[in-house]
A and B are shown apart, each in its own frame.
Chain A
């Protein structure tokens, strides 16, 4: 984080917009990451961004990434269970931050695509969906009205800060890969936080189908599952889950 501040004068400008005149401590920057993104959005809105040339990279890249090999996946869902049991103390594929269950039976394209599906009832291919730990712009964090999705050391995963999360579910509709989870028991969103650098899902996979690698940008390489909703339709999402 420090390196980033020192390296780029633009960041200081941005931070000034968000918190004018305030000294930027290390702790403060951490807390501001989400807010920074939100602040920028309004800044552009008011036509104030004209003088600054793109790209505006103000979010630190993640240090790691869980990647998945569908051809090795045996559909056991041990990854989903490890994610929620060893992190949250409950077996809860519905809130797991790696997602196999939804593709297990019929693959990512689902049941309305005709005869040829993937998954157990089709070709046998099980596609595991995982969080891309997006570079800026981070769609989930970007959308959060409460700046609750933050960049958190040690691996700079994009993490939900439960103290800030109000359970509005906006982020759920913002992720192009539908990788946000919502836990009805805590009434908070949750997402992959890379288990602070020791991914439980990777440890749990009995088929070596998951690997923890240095971060690479996969956002342009993995087809998205959905088109994120615009701000205007955000209000509709409570009903249209």
Chain B
């Protein structure tokens, strides 16, 4: 036995695989990456140090980094995500840094196999897959797998590696370097970046591990901390009130994803299982609270529900599994499907209407077909932008004018008009196969599609129904959820902002008075939050909340906590006044690693990671005019269908001057230059990023 490692949590090694040369090496995680923890932090660090700014996503010089953090694979609730960091192929007009966040069982298995992350570089000269089993790594021939869907690929690899293997694979979309593609593991857990894997001729990564992760802290304390965390957990997206009145609940909110109730039943379980009232104190019923099939597909999905499913160690089970027998005979696809959120409605969202209404049987069938095809071909939806683009291009005659009559007529538009899910079998495989102009354009992502067709981005930016934001991507929990705070957050990334810290608070379902009381504790004043759709002008507390939200996102993506659930800033516990705990991350991180870090110290690491992302973006764009050129806001944010004016009840419309002020306040909070939006020298130095500052200064990219 080797000597006891200094820290718990980390597996200890990061794997590096050069597909061009076949060279496989490892490096010490703690030694090399501890200041960035893991996950996105590790990914950004590799991209900063090793990938030149002029690199394009599909160049062999681009790298794709799969990284987890110290909590992955432990029983800290919600630890299932792997951060996939690379140059983002749908980021328009230039590929900038981006990261995807893949759930499932990959992160845990990778760590049990001995690795915190995998850095893939170069390009293989023929299709390969990577086998990682208990520290042993091999590059294997994937020629026979090339052209196969993700399901078959997973099965074939599992036959070789054993049934416990977790396989992260790309489908035909990724192979064909369709930018709108994903990597999938454990049936339905996706992370974008499939085309980058495809560009490297890498079909899949199979992992299998029988090793363990040491918990450095005292065993009883760890057990207590985990139970404590569980006691503060709500339903999916950390919603802490039920959707209907419950005997135990003081409050309820129809918009809640906490949908369990007496009489609501997993109808396709055999025998059916009643979800019941799910008192928050009962930690043995957390898995029944959420049913995202019922939430996203409507009440009738209850009878199709088999059970909840989800990532390693997560009690929430946001990927609901449904069984719809009719789809097997009608469409020849498996009768069981599972997913969450926008991927659950991937297929449904293409259609304007269905013969039996928006929540009828056909809509569920469309969802089933969509889930099956998207998760087998490995297609990305860009948070629903793909479907919105499709509908817009169709309804405004853009397809017809851009692709020519002959190609246009290849599609059964009557099926589309009728809301017939069979239409998806024409559209989706063609997107994955770059088959024809229409499908190829959709597969590029919005920015490159518009450019290719000579349509101005402004046309997209002004259409409120499109929800398009910038750089080829849509909004993700913006002003509709958190006013100015949401807007600020949506300016920061090079894809849709994958941040939920803010929305998991403002949409927690609690009445505004309680939210305000909690907000005062968290950000210094109750003025930090408004009711959604009843916004007040900007103030500094909103800027503090925005910064906090962004840092927590990066922290979660680095220590491996799910930012779709955290932070746990409120709880379902009346006896706590619904207070959550903002220090949970530090408690869990310190206990698992043995590296004691106060919440403040950990926030500083998060800030280092976030600022490194900023530096990568600055370097990638080659400009310091971030405020003007990067942190842009689409026009639709400043409009309202009913011409209501900003700061009146009922509108989510923002005011231009107020948002200008909001950005300024945020830059100030962040320690960034107010005019340009680049971090100041003092900020880089405070965060231990002097070398980053120096490199940027040489290129005149500092304040």
* Interface of A toward B, CB cutoff 8 Å: 71-78, 81-82, 84-87, 89-95, 101-102, 104-106, 110-112, 119-124, 184-185, 200, 203-208
Query: Which 7 pairs show the lowest CB-CB distances between chains A and B?
Result: A92-B212, A206-B315, A94-B210, A81-B75, A207-B287, A206-B286, A206-B287
- Residues of B197-219 at the interface with A, using a CB-CB cut-off of 8 Å, are 209-215, 219
Contact present for B212 and A95 (CB under 8 Å): yes
CB neighbours (8 Å) of A75 from chain B are: 309-310
Contact present for B74 and A91 (CB under 8 Å): yes
Contact present for A121 and B284 (CB under 8 Å): no
Residue of A78, A95, A111, A119 most packed against chain B (CB within 10 A): A78
Considering the complex, give the chain B residue whose CB is closest to the CB of A122. Answer: B336
Contact present for A123 and B336 (CB under 8 Å): yes
Contact present for B73 and A91 (CB under 8 Å): yes
Contact of B187 among A71, A77, A121 (CB under 8 A): A121
Not counting A74-B307, A81-B75, A92-B212, a sample of 19 additional A-B residue pairs whose C-beta atoms are within 8 angstroms of each other reads: A76-B310, A78-B313, A82-B75, A86-B219, A89-B214, A90-B215, A91-B108, A94-B212, A102-B164, A105-B165, A111-B158, A121-B151, A121-B187, A124-B321, A124-B338, A185-B212, A207-B286, A207-B287, A208-B285
Contact present for A94 and B312 (CB under 8 Å): no
Could you jot down 8 A-B contacts, CB within 8 Å? A82-B75, A86-B219, A89-B215, A93-B112, A120-B338, A121-B187, A124-B307, A207-B288
Contact of A94 among B209, B214, B226, B288 (CB under 8 A): B209
CB neighbours (8 Å) of B397 from chain A are: none
Chain A interface: which of B41-49, B239-247, B267-275? B267-275
Contact present for B75 and A91 (CB under 8 Å): yes
Confirm or deny: B351 has a beta carbon within 8 angstroms of a beta carbon on chain A. no
Confirm or deny: B476 has a beta carbon within 8 angstroms of a beta carbon on chain A. no
Contact of A85 among B186, B222, B311 (CB under 8 A): B222
Contact present for A120 and B288 (CB under 8 Å): no
Contact present for B309 and A207 (CB under 8 Å): no
CB neighbours (8 Å) of B1 from chain A are: 185
CB neighbours (8 Å) of A90 from chain B are: 212-215
How far does the alpha carbon of A85 sit from the alpha carbon of B225 in the complex, in Å?
A: 12
Confirm or deny: B34 has a beta carbon within 8 angstroms of a beta carbon on chain A. no
Contact present for B317 and A111 (CB under 8 Å): no
Considering the complex, give the chain B residue whose CB is closest to the CB of A103. Answer: B163
How far does the alpha carbon of A119 sit from the alpha carbon of B163 in the complex, in Å?
A: 10
Contact present for B283 and A120 (CB under 8 Å): no
Contact of B271 among A71, A89, A119, A206 (CB under 8 A): A71
How far does the alpha carbon of A106 sit from the alpha carbon of B186 in the complex, in Å?
A: 11
How far does the alpha carbon of A207 sit from the alpha carbon of B287 in the complex, in Å?
A: 5
CB neighbours (8 Å) of A110 from chain B are: 163
Confirm or deny: B94 has a beta carbon within 8 angstroms of a beta carbon on chain A. no
How far does the alpha carbon of A185 sit from the alpha carbon of B134 in the complex, in Å?
A: 13
A121 with B154: in contact, given A94-B212, A206-B285 (CB under 8 Å)? yes
Smallest beta-carbon distance A81→chain B, Å: 4
A76 with B287: in contact, given A106-B163, A123-B336, A124-B336 (CB under 8 Å)? yes
Contact present for A84 and B212 (CB under 8 Å): yes
Contact present for A124 and B285 (CB under 8 Å): no
Contact present for B74 and A206 (CB under 8 Å): no
Confirm or deny: B500 has a beta carbon within 8 angstroms of a beta carbon on chain A. no
CB neighbours (8 Å) of A120 from chain B are: 186-187, 309, 338
A71 with B270: in contact, given A111-B155, A206-B284 (CB under 8 Å)? yes
A74 with B75: in contact, given A105-B158, A111-B163, A205-B284 (CB under 8 Å)? no
CB neighbours (8 Å) of A206 from chain B are: 230, 283-287, 315, 317
CB neighbours (8 Å) of B313 from chain A are: 76-78, 81
Contact present for A78 and B336 (CB under 8 Å): no
How far does the alpha carbon of A95 sit from the alpha carbon of B213 in the complex, in Å?
A: 12
Confirm or deny: B306 has a beta carbon within 8 angstroms of a beta carbon on chain A. yes
How far does the alpha carbon of A74 sit from the alpha carbon of B610 in the complex, in Å?
A: 35
Confirm or deny: B95 has a beta carbon within 8 angstroms of a beta carbon on chain A. no
How far does the alpha carbon of A95 sit from the alpha carbon of B75 in the complex, in Å?
A: 15
Smallest beta-carbon distance A118→chain B, Å: 11
Contact present for A71 and B321 (CB under 8 Å): no
How far does the alpha carbon of A82 sit from the alpha carbon of B108 in the complex, in Å?
A: 15
Considering the complex, give the chain A residue whose CB is closest to the CB of B212. Answer: A92
Confirm or deny: B143 has a beta carbon within 8 angstroms of a beta carbon on chain A. no
Smallest beta-carbon distance A58→chain B, Å: 35
CB neighbours (8 Å) of A102 from chain B are: 163-164
Confirm or deny: B69 has a beta carbon within 8 angstroms of a beta carbon on chain A. no
How far does the alpha carbon of A61 sit from the alpha carbon of B336 in the complex, in Å?
A: 42
Smallest beta-carbon distance A64→chain B, Å: 17
CB neighbours (8 Å) of B163 from chain A are: 102, 105-106, 110-111, 119
How far does the alpha carbon of A85 sit from the alpha carbon of B71 in the complex, in Å?
A: 13
How far does the alpha carbon of A97 sit from the alpha carbon of B579 in the complex, in Å?
A: 36
Smallest beta-carbon distance A80→chain B, Å: 9
Smallest beta-carbon distance B76→chain A, Å: 9
Smallest beta-carbon distance A52→chain B, Å: 44
CB neighbours (8 Å) of B283 from chain A are: 206
Smallest beta-carbon distance A86→chain B, Å: 5
Contact present for A71 and B273 (CB under 8 Å): yes
CB neighbours (8 Å) of A84 from chain B are: 212
How far does the alpha carbon of A121 sit from the alpha carbon of B152 in the complex, in Å?
A: 11
CB neighbours (8 Å) of B158 from chain A are: 105-106, 111
Contact of B215 among A85, A111, A112, A185 (CB under 8 A): A85
Considering the complex, give the chain B residue whose CB is closest to the CB of A96. Answer: B212
How far does the alpha carbon of A112 sit from the alpha carbon of B166 in the complex, in Å?
A: 17
Smallest beta-carbon distance B701→chain A, Å: 42
Confirm or deny: B223 has a beta carbon within 8 angstroms of a beta carbon on chain A. yes
CB neighbours (8 Å) of A203 from chain B are: 284
CB neighbours (8 Å) of B73 from chain A are: 91
Considering the complex, give the chain A residue whose CB is closest to the CB of B270. Answer: A71
How far does the alpha carbon of A77 sit from the alpha carbon of B147 in the complex, in Å?
A: 33
Confirm or deny: B616 has a beta carbon within 8 angstroms of a beta carbon on chain A. no
How far does the alpha carbon of A76 sit from the alpha carbon of B74 in the complex, in Å?
A: 12
Contact of B312 among A76, A92, A95, A122 (CB under 8 A): A76
How far does the alpha carbon of A203 sit from the alpha carbon of B338 in the complex, in Å?
A: 27
Smallest beta-carbon distance A99→chain B, Å: 10
Contact present for A78 and B315 (CB under 8 Å): yes
CB neighbours (8 Å) of A93 from chain B are: 108, 112
Contact present for A77 and B312 (CB under 8 Å): yes
Smallest beta-carbon distance A138→chain B, Å: 25
Smallest beta-carbon distance A106→chain B, Å: 5
Smallest beta-carbon distance B106→chain A, Å: 12
Confirm or deny: B105 has a beta carbon within 8 angstroms of a beta carbon on chain A. yes
Smallest beta-carbon distance B185→chain A, Å: 11
CB neighbours (8 Å) of B550 from chain A are: none
Smallest beta-carbon distance A73→chain B, Å: 8
How far does the alpha carbon of A111 sit from the alpha carbon of B270 in the complex, in Å?
A: 23
B535-555 interface code vs A (CB 8 A; 1 in, 0 out):
000000000000000000000
How far does the alpha carbon of A71 sit from the alpha carbon of B265 in the complex, in Å?
A: 13
CB neighbours (8 Å) of A119 from chain B are: 163
How far does the alpha carbon of A41 sit from the alpha carbon of B413 in the complex, in Å?
A: 77
Considering the complex, give the chain B residue whose CB is closest to the CB of A107. Answer: B163
Contact present for B314 and A207 (CB under 8 Å): no
Confirm or deny: B473 has a beta carbon within 8 angstroms of a beta carbon on chain A. no
Confirm or deny: B323 has a beta carbon within 8 angstroms of a beta carbon on chain A. yes
CB neighbours (8 Å) of B312 from chain A are: 76-77
Smallest beta-carbon distance A199→chain B, Å: 12
How far does the alpha carbon of A73 sit from the alpha carbon of B73 in the complex, in Å?
A: 19
Contact of A101 among B159, B164, B230, B306 (CB under 8 A): B164
Confirm or deny: B308 has a beta carbon within 8 angstroms of a beta carbon on chain A. yes
CB neighbours (8 Å) of B159 from chain A are: 111-112
Contact of A208 among B186, B187, B219, B284 (CB under 8 A): B284
Smallest beta-carbon distance B103→chain A, Å: 12
